[in-house]
Amino acid sequence: MLSIFIDETWPDSNGIAELSWTLFKTGDKEAITGIAHDKSELPKTRKIEVVVPASVASITAVDVPKQNRKLMIKALRFVIEEDAVDDPEKLHVAPADSYLPDGRLPVAIIDRKWLVKTLDLLAEKEIFPDAIRVETLLLPIEKSGITVLWNGKDGFMRTGQFSGGALDTGSSNHPPLALKLAIAEATAKKSAPEKITLYLANGTPPPNTALWTLDLGALLEIKQDKWNLGKGATNAKDRGINLLQGDIAPSHQMQRAAQQGHLTISLILIIGLAYSGYVFTDWMFLKMEEKRLNVQMRDTFKTAFPKAKSIVDPPLQMRRNLAELRWRAGGKDDNDLIPMLATITQAIAQTAKIAGFEYNKGVVKIDLVTSGDKEFFVARDNLVAKGLTVKPGPGKRYDYGYKTQLTVTRKNIR
């Protein structure tokens, strides 16, 4: 298996920047690594996977019925709408092959534009991967602990079979805040990790074990052997979620087959026509469903507001009319800016300060400043206690304390 690692900024270079690769063969004790700029510099192999960084892809689990997989993949973007800050249309969501024991389905979420541009740039180099993986799920998994890849200032972690994420800034003496949050969350669920297993990136000196252990409240074990993606490199089941699914996959896979000479021109045309027919049929089905829903929404709107003279956009008009009714009645929406800021400032008044904020449709992004870790956790817990959903973002340590970006929403926001 040849793994090609894509840096977060690689698409911005229009494919000019170098690509790191790792070749791992069954039976080999060590992986072969190298750098390439185009296909001619890569080892020849039958299987190619692209590995994207934890900083551009997140892993979560959703409640979704077990149904037709193709239809389910199309709906996933909207299922995760409540957990995603970005517009669902801007996201690509790929499911795992199987469900978790609790009935939820693990999914990987990535910016659609970033992924499509990456695939297009690779195609220009005649590189067509069989799969796209997230590096988070390639770390070895620990049954009763957390696994971390550390490069001296940040990295990523794996906290379970289908969980983990990117790490924010840390140092030799101070572990990343995201790692501390993961431990705190696990402890709250009564599943505190027994140890933190740390793998070091090439040339990275180990952190201060005593200080990290003291700060994390968990034993830190530093692995001296080089991380090589694991010896199960050829087993697809151990590679996590494949992002090459859904509407992104068909055209890309046909390009790959044509490039490798597996398809004749006539067969390509036949497959192309068949796929076009499939897309058209699917489009017709969706248009019919859209028409049915529009008729239903118009009937509901007429029933609720019989005096309306014209109906152009039922959902929008419904929201505006309901907002007007609330305003006339002297009511307010808890997701408005002023109520949201009032709730947030009341929750953090004793432990933190707000250095700046952004607001958009019920979502507030705040730059939270705390004097230390303890104050941050207290502020976060107070926000949750107020009925808010809190998602920590990038954080950085300064002389005056921590500055962390939080995304805050009401739990009932839609």
Residue 413 pLDDT class (50, 70, 90 cuts): very low
Mean pLDDT score, 279-306? 74
CA 40, 45, 47: angle at the middle one, nearest 5?
Answer: 120
**What topology is assigned to 140-223 in CATH?**
Nucleotidyltransferase; domain 5 (3.30.420)
Task: State the Cα–Cα distance between residues 408 and 343, nearest whole angstrom.
Answer: 11
Which stretch of DSSP H or E encloses residue 181? helix 177-188
Among the residue ranges 14-28, 157-171, 217-231, the one predicted with the least confidence is: 217-231
CATH fourth-level superfamily of 337-410: General secretion pathway protein M, EpsM (3.30.1360.100)
pLDDT tops 80 at residue 343 = yes
pTM above 0.75, yes or no: no
What average pLDDT does the segment 45-51 reach? 89
The one-letter code for the residue type at 55 is S
pLDDT given at position 84: 61
Over range 229-235, report the average pLDDT: 51
Q: What percent of the chain has pLDDT over 70?
A: 81
pLDDT at 125 over 60: yes
Fold of domain 2-137+239-259: Nucleotidyltransferase; domain 5 (3.30.420)
Q: Domain spans of the chain? A: 2-137+239-259, 140-223, 283-328, 337-410
Q: What is the 3-state secondary structure (H, E, C) of 13-46?
A: HCCCCCEEEEECCCCCCCCEEEEECCHHHCCCCC
- 236 is written with which tokens? 């697809």
Give tens-digit pLDDT for 178-217. Answer: 999 899 888 888 888 989 999 998 878 999 999 999 999 8
Q: Residues with Cβ < 8 Å from 83, sequence gap 6 or more?
A: 60, 62
Q: What is the pLDDT of residue 204?
A: 87
DSSP three-state, residue 406 = strand
Q: Which residues are within 8 A (CB) of 143 and not within 5 positions of it... i.e. 6 or more apart? A: none
Following DSSP, what letter does each residue of 198-262 receive, concatenated? EEE-TTPPP--HHHHHHHHTSEEEEE-SPP-S-TTTT-GGGS------GGGHHHHHHHHHHHTT-
Amino acid residing at 287: K
- Binning pLDDT at 50, 70 and 90, where does residue 233 land? very low
Phi, psi of 253 (to 5 degrees): -70, -35
| Shared fold status for 2-137+239-259 and 140-223 | yes
